[in-house]
Structure 1
């Protein structure tokens, strides 16, 4: 299972490099089911892996001028605030046994995995459906829609803090639809936002989480190698084919987690 986990770590990085998202949605399931880490700790560990990997991947986009810094700041500030509130106050106060139904206890870890499965189903739908054609030309707005961007940033921060996912599958459509950023710039900007959110979320969790630095370092190193490969091939692979194919894979994984957590 550990070998399978390392192979899956490559896929995490490749996905982030190729399509700017999706890879982070695999990190928690990989940590839980292949490395045997409990779900609560996995949401924190995932933030480190996703954050470091996204930070490395964003460098290539920064060098190419494919990061819109103003949008990243406007989106990132409320997002960071939501990550902090979630990791510092909301998650630690969720009881270990959330509720019971017919004598069956639903634990905090099981609840997080069920939420994660729902998130994977939403992510798969977004990737399989593909990007909708924008109503106007994909040129950056002269007067950006700040309020929707701030609200979207806060929502992404809540998701990132709660389940340890970067949220690229939600960030990229928001940047394209709200700010009319070109897709490549949206991917680069998304990676910057994901890296800052995830790394800060991880540091906010250090007081509540015992870190296996050796294991995280190896996984992060492998994922970084994957994102470098993905970034190299991003201009050579047809994203219209790759993204839906990866979406179907995420859909199957989401259904698997739902079944595994519900049927015990």
Structure 2
């Protein structure tokens, strides 16, 4: 019972993080589900798709109401991303892919994401000129690649999708953020579908964890009026970096050593 309470308290914290900085949910949810709730990697990743998908839809609503969702770019990027997420999930289910291999790949992606947040890479995109050109093939290939990584390790990929939409889609930063939430929601569906018939899932835990995260999102959204999100993102980047190093140390030294 104590583990259940701690896990759901952390789910609220995950939701608050999403509400405050607009991302990073799966990077926290997957370690909590594995190391606190005791799930294996594939179960945790499958569950995280439900949480991330629902949270992305909730976050999408205000962006859509403000006109910051570019459906034209989403139509180009989303189908290959959905296909990639399904293929990535199926790849993860191959007998060769152990939990250790999957978690090492997950930690490597966390390292990449943490560096992006610490250096403030996304903030620099505001300064780039926006070209009306739409590099469709590049966006489709990027979508396929990001989707495949998402399906394999469970990370939503917003830190990759947003730059791709700005640089190759030629859309402003605000639209890129809103559009990325739509893309993440759709590819979460196919990523989850890729695991659904091969993994035993605790749907009661999925529902309770998602509800707890939803409470956290509301709290986090309110706190954005009081807290500067830019500095939080850098601090969160260091936190993600620490978790990634911890996971890599555990699995590279103890599991493979």
Give the TM-score normalised by structure 2: 0.89
Aligned to 2:99: 109
The worse-fitting range, judged by mean Cα deviation, of 129-138 and 117-126 is 129-138
Aligned to 1:193: 183
Aligned to 2:143: 153
The worse-fitting range, judged by mean Cα deviation, of 243-252 and 128-137 is 128-137
Aligned to 1:102: none
The worse-fitting range, judged by mean Cα deviation, of 231-240 and 113-122 is 231-240
CA RMSD of aligned residues (A): 2.1
Find 2:22's aligned residue among 3, 6, 20. Answer: 20
Partner secondary structure for residue 188 of structure 1 = helix
Q: Please say if residues 51 and 198 of structure 1, whose CA atoms lie closer than 8 Å, have aligned partners that are also in contact.
A: yes
Measured after TM superposition, the shift of residue 30 of structure 1 is: 1.1
Aligned to 1:170: 160
The worse-fitting range, judged by mean Cα deviation, of 127-136 and 7-16 is 127-136
- What is the rounded CA distance, in whole Å, between the counterparts of 2:152 and 2:128 in structure 1? 35
Aligned to 2:242: 252
Structure 1: segments with no counterpart, 5+ residues? 99-107
Measured after TM superposition, the shift of residue 179 of structure 1 is: 2.9
Q: Please list the CA deviations of residues 103-155 of structure 1 after superposition, one character each: whole Å capped at 9, or x if unmatched.
A: xxxxx01111111111111110000010363496554x322122221121111
Aligned to 2:88: 86
Partner secondary structure for residue 18 of structure 1 = helix
Structure 2: segments with no counterpart, 5+ residues? none
Q: Please say if residues 83 and 190 of structure 2, whose CA atoms lie closer than 8 Å, have aligned partners that are also in contact.
A: no
Q: Please list the CA deviations of residues 61-90 of structure 1 after superposition, one character each: whole Å capped at 9, or x if unmatched.
A: 1122121111122111111111122223x2
Partner secondary structure for residue 69 of structure 2 = coil
Aligned to 2:124: 133
- What is the rounded CA distance, in whole Å, between the counterparts of 1:121 and 1:84 in structure 2? 24
Find 1:40's aligned residue among 39, 42, 52. Answer: 42
- What is the rounded CA distance, in whole Å, between the counterparts of 2:180 and 2:126 in structure 1? 21
Q: Please say if residues 50 and 189 of structure 2, whose CA atoms lie closer than 8 Å, have aligned partners that are also in contact.
A: yes
- What is the rounded CA distance, in whole Å, between the counterparts of 1:69 and 1:235 in structure 2? 29
Query: Greater share of helix residues, 1 or 2?
Result: 2
